[in-house]
Amino acid sequence: MKFSGRNQTEGEVVRGFRLLRGWLDADEQAAILADLRPVLVAAPFQRPVTPGGKPMSVRMTSAGRLGWISDRRGYRYAALHPSGTPWPPIPPRILALWRDVTGLERAPDCCLINHYAAGARMGLHQDRDEGDFSFPVVSISLGAEALFRMGGTERSEGTESRWLHSGDVVVMHGPARLAWHGVDRIRGGSSTLLSDGGRINLTLRVVTSA
């Protein structure tokens, strides 16, 4: 597979996760946020429940051919927003970032959009609902700082944490593609990018190998 993006050589590597600090400058962050506004009108944030019925603290929606959802039936990709409409397309600027970071011609199928208010967190998990793990996962941080925990492919392995800042990009590829990770804490108000002082994380994923 062609995979020759700048992410191969740049940034700090923590447990196989490549941290591209300040990949987006302030203007680029604001431009991506502006691109997201119509997406969030077409596909409003939802508060998903876990398969066990527990409401998540993170609000979610998606752009792209497929969106990631969670409800009592489980975690999965779906072609429609829970309201029954197709997900809006991934904004071109976000697709350009994917190409720049990964060097891949193949576009991601899903841009998961997570919104964290000050008290929100994301438990330790693996991204494993996709049909092909050979592609990288690219994650973009916008807004408030987040304490990101990174582990190994076994849940029992030790973890290391780093604060992610607005404009940082994280690449999970190779052994880190299936590594456990999560967000323990948000420093609410640590960025003024989002008017509510919260954080948006975008996760770009190839879902099917076709």
Residues of this chain that bind ligand SIN (CB under 6 A): 114, 122, 139, 141, 146, 148, 164, 181, 183, 201, 203
CB of 141 to ligand SIN, least distance (A): 6
Count of residues touching Fe ion (by CB under 5 A):
1
Piece of 61-69, 80-88, 101-109, 120-128 that binds Fe ion (CB under 5 A): 120-128
Which residue pairs, CB below 8 angstroms and at least 24 apart, start in 91-96?
91/32, 91/35, 91/36, 91/39, 91/63, 93/28, 93/31, 93/32, 93/35, 94/32, 94/35, 94/63, 94/140, 94/202, 94/204
Name the residue nearer to Fe ion (CB basis): 86 or 163: 163
Q: How far apart are CA 138 and CA 135, in angstroms?
A: 10
Longest dimension (CA), the chain: 42
Q: How far apart are CA 19 and CA 22, in angstroms?
A: 9
Piece of 14-22, 28-36, 72-80, 124-132 that binds Fe ion (CB under 5 A): 124-132
Pairing state between β 74-78 and 67-71: antiparallel
Instruction: Please tell me whether residue 127 binds Fe ion under the rule CB under 5 A.
Output: yes
- What is the contact mask toward Fe ion in residues 41 to 80, using x (rule: CB under 5 A)? ----------------------------------------
Name the residue nearer to ligand SIN (CB basis): 101 or 122: 122
Which single residue is written with the structure tokens 């409409």? 85
CB of 27 to Fe ion, least distance (A): 27
Q: How far apart are CA 61 and CA 173, in angstroms?
A: 23
Q: Which two tokens stand for residue 40?
A: 């969030």
* 171 contact choice in Fe ion, ligand SIN, none (CB below 5 to 8 Å, kind-dependent): none
Name the residue nearer to ligand SIN (CB basis): 46 or 139: 139
Name the residue nearer to Fe ion (CB basis): 127 or 130: 127
DSSP 5: -
Name the residue nearer to ligand SIN (CB basis): 4 or 125: 125
φ/ψ region of 32 (left if φ > 0, alpha if ψ in -120 to 50, else beta) reads alpha
Question: Which positions touch Fe ion (CB under 5 A)?
Answer: 127
